[in-house]
Amino acid sequence: MSGAIDWRLLEQGLRRVLPAQAVVAAPQELLAYDCDGLTLQRHRPPLVVLPESTEQLAAAVRLTHQQGVPFVARGSGTGLSGGAVAEQPALVIATSRMRRILAIDLENHTITVQPGVINSWVTRAVAGDGFYYAPDPSSQVACSIGGNIAENSGGVHCLKYGVTNNHVLGLEVVLPDGSITQLGNGLAESSELDLRGVFIGSEGTLGIASAVTLRLLRAPQSVAVLLADFSSMEAAGEAVRLVTAAAVQPAGMEMMDRLCLEAVNDSLGLEEYPRDAAAVLLIELDGQQREVNAAIALASRLCSQAGARQVRVARASEQCARFWKGRKNAITALGRRYPSYYLQDGVVPRSQLPRVLAAIERLSAAHGLPVANVFHAGDGNLHPLVLYDPREPGIIQRVKELGAAILGLCLDVGGSISGEHGIGSDKRCYMDWMYSGDDLASMLLVRQAFDPRGLANPGKLFPTPRGCAESARRVQVLQLEGVSLPAEALVF
């Protein structure tokens, strides 16, 4: 497909429909689009565009469709699965100039934004009126709403309030042929075939979200954060199990292990987390004052029962923020302390946490690579970070093998290979560990309905024959058996 592309012709066309500053072709400027948060894969795109409006975005997509050019949507590039990277030559369409808040409707608790708007800006825009936007990835000061939609992102508060999918009321989407459509009508209930859920989490393979209507929630009357520290990860895992099983619904429940705590304490100079702790658990409780008081008492008792050495409670907002600061910056702190990291994202049933954490420790020792754990414990959503030095020969292979072993472990206990970071190019070859050939074929048929030519973010999410021969072969067998699948999905 890429051999026949005339990039000069595409560039000329793009310069006709977009302002001059919206077309990026200079090699030194293209460098910024080499990778996303998954730094071990790098591919320079031949061309990038930065539209400012839906019309400009649609005009660029129409040109790619006319000329048969693949395209990759890009928000802020904080994704951790290689999703926003042009692995094969493709036009990157970045939304970083589509950062306007289009409408705020407090009467109906909604806000409509362009896709490049940064997650934390949404809450900032309505906080003064007592509202907030619940999905809060740890990257919320940098990641875009469009990226959140493509990955169906989660965050600390998704334990109680649900992930992105639960907060999107309407989407304007530029389809891969450049036409513009509306999914969902911006109301809580809609009468049409509801395709929002199909688009959310589709990782840019069905088109590009160009405007989004989000649900706003009223800020709770009272918030408290409980910080419990433990002398083992297993004990902290047991506390998660007990709290989850009890009649208390935390807004968030997050855990950090010793390596994380060391990095956070050193790099941020915090005093909040005991230096000799093997694990720290943060539990946020919100609601009416009396409800929060009762929840604090119960959660504290359960943490102690699991073996917590100390349980402290923050109620004032500055103290709560201090408790959260290390957790919110844990990945950055690890990035400063170690030359590089490979961040995995798997899910396990919460009841299996103590067993899985112990098994990860054994895998880390067997592979000879340190693994730090910082994760959404209440959701069973693990984020093991394999720490490594990229200068070591053969290291990438070893790192990826350990990452794969951890995902295999998640599946063995009834979990999943992704909680919130998506599949992208990083985990596409593991898709058939989890899904049958029939499952994958059904997903590809949905993709074909939106994108018959396979131009939107090709090579992502699904196994590809060149990248992962074994899993892709099973999809090809289905095609030979008469199931019609988009050729582009199979030839990359």
Ligand X SMILES: Cc1cc2nc3c(=O)[nH]c(=O)nc-3n(C[C@H](O)[C@H](O)[C@H](O)COP(=O)(O)OP(=O)(O)OC[C@H]3O[C@@H](n4cnc5c(N)ncnc54)[C@H](O)[C@@H]3O)c2cc1C
Using CB under 6 A, list all residues that contact ligand X: 36-37, 72-80, 83-84, 95, 115, 137-139, 143-144, 146-148, 150-151, 153-155, 203-204, 208-209, 331-332, 420-421, 457
* Least distance from ligand X to the Cβ atom of residue 307, Å: 27
What is the number of the residue whose Cβ is closest to ligand X? 147
Number of Cα atoms under 13 Å in the Cβ half of residue 24: 19
Q: Name every residue whose Cβ is closer than 8 Å to that of residue 427 and which is 6 or more positions away in sequence.
A: 81, 407, 417, 418
β partners of residue 375: 255
Q: Which two tokens stand for residue 279?
A: 């694990």
Judged by beta carbon, residue 155 or residue 415, the one nearer ligand X is: 155
Judged by beta carbon, residue 70 or residue 137, the one nearer ligand X is: 137
* Least distance from ligand X to the Cβ atom of residue 213, Å: 14
d(C-alpha 168, C-alpha 186), whole Å: 8
Residue 365's Cβ-count burial label (10 Å; 0-12, 13-18, 19+) is exposed
Judged by beta carbon, residue 181 or residue 332, the one nearer ligand X is: 332
d(C-alpha 285, C-alpha 107), whole Å: 27
Q: Name every residue whose Cβ is closer than 8 Å to that of residue 432 and which is 6 or more positions away in sequence.
A: 440, 463, 470, 471, 474
**Do the Cβ atoms of 173 and 207 come closer than 8 Å?**
yes
* Least distance from ligand X to the Cβ atom of residue 357, Å: 19
Identify the DSSP state of 269.
-
The Cα-based distances of 96 to 24, 40, 144, 319, 449 in angstroms read: 13, 23, 8, 34, 28
* Least distance from ligand X to the Cβ atom of residue 107, Å: 27
Q: Which two tokens stand for residue 208?
A: 């590009």
Judged by beta carbon, residue 91 or residue 440, the one nearer ligand X is: 91
* Least distance from ligand X to the Cβ atom of residue 111, Å: 16
* Least distance from ligand X to the Cβ atom of residue 362, Å: 26
Residue 81's Cβ-count burial label (10 Å; 0-12, 13-18, 19+) is buried
* Least distance from ligand X to the Cβ atom of residue 208, Å: 4
Judged by beta carbon, residue 163 or residue 296, the one nearer ligand X is: 163
* Least distance from ligand X to the Cβ atom of residue 21, Å: 20
| Helix, strand, coil distribution of the chain in percent, nearest 5 | 40, 20, 40
Judged by beta carbon, residue 143 or residue 395, the one nearer ligand X is: 143
Judged by beta carbon, residue 259 or residue 306, the one nearer ligand X is: 259
For the chain, the straight-line distance linking the first and the last C-alpha, in angstroms and rounded, comes to 9
β partners of residue 229: 280, 310
Q: Which residue has the tokens 């012709």?
A: 9
Judged by beta carbon, residue 13 or residue 45, the one nearer ligand X is: 45
